[in-house]
Amino acid sequence: MKPASFEYYAPRSLSEALEQISQVGDDGGKILAGGQSLVPAMNFRMAQPTALVDLNGLPELFYIHPTDSGGLMIGAMTRDRVVELDDNVKLRAPIIPECLHWLAHPTIRNRGTFGGALAHSDPAGQLPVVAASLQFNFKLQSKKGERWVNADEFFVSVYTTCLEADEILTAIEVPALSKHAGTSFQQVSRQSGESALVGIATIIELDTDGKIKNGRIAYMGVAEKPVMATEAMKLLKGNKPTDDLIAEAIHGTVTKELDPGADIHASVEYRRHLAQALGVKSVREAIARAAK
């Protein structure tokens, strides 16, 4: 199939892009970034935007800047593959290239954008769950001004964020990790490059005694958006981790906080099994990395 007819705009500045999306956004206009999700959806007529505002001509949205606090500022149009291979990202937020390795295939990552993958808000997407775990901050701009929201506010539901029709995601701030923190990303998919059946992103910070000082554990593929494992962290925080404690903590989240659905690829029981196994593996790995 071919997409339904639409108007096409190619702004040459951010101010021009904001002006154009303000005019077409309320009437069904969409932002075109990498197009790796939007264009196939348009070809199958699952998405029928009335207009596209193409951001590929805006060099000011392509960048990776280390911040003085030890984090990163990443322009929304920066290609996924560029982020994956960047030395500053590997040093300051190693979980990001680790998760991007699982995102589709290199050909897709060469074109897909960091901001686009986040704004797509796929409940089985790698970047949203890492954003929830690391607590990304998102810069949203419109003709009326700008606002910053954190990951908990940004992701609303399946393929839905808090972006208004006249807003553009222009930048993502990745907060600095503690030097005593370790991270881990795990997922299971049916084959390479496919969406995850279940995935998990974990950050664990240890104190000087080897006890868990803090942490954030986020699951994907088990709900309409990333799910934080608050039950697990309640049990882990303040304690020295043991295999039994980790397994008990993850079990609490799997049984009380996760509500995975069933489809032709996996039953509810199998997804819960994966959530338990991946959770234990991810927490162990994050602790081991934090202890180095």
pLDDT, tens digit (0-9, with 9 covering 90-100), for 46-78? 999 999 999 999 999 999 999 999 999 999 999
Question: Burial letters for 257-284: b for 16+ Cβ neighbours within 10 Å, e otherwise?
Answer: bbebeeeeebeeeebbebbbbbbbbbbb
Per-residue pLDDT at 93: 98
State which amino acid sits at residue 90: K
CATH of domain 7-54: 3.30.43.10
When the pLDDT of each residue in the chain is averaged and rounded to a whole number, the result is 97
Structural tokens at position 254: 């799997």
Q: Does domain 62-174 have CATH number 3.30.465.10?
A: yes
pTM: 0.96
pLDDT, tens digit (0-9, with 9 covering 90-100), for 102-124? 999 999 999 999 999 999 999 99
The count of residues in the chain is 292
CATH architecture of the domain with range 181-290: 2-Layer Sandwich (3.30)
Decide: 9 and 16 in contact? Cβ < 8 Å: no
DSSP state of 107: H
Mean pLDDT of 129-153: 98
> Rounded to the nearest 10 degrees, how much is the dihedral formed by the CA atoms of 27, 33, 37, 43?
60
> Rounded to the nearest 10 degrees, how much is the dihedral formed by the CA atoms of 72, 218, 177, 243?
-150
Domain residue spans of the chain:
7-54, 62-174, 181-290
Identical fold for domains 7-54 and 62-174, yes or no, is no
DSSP state of 62: -
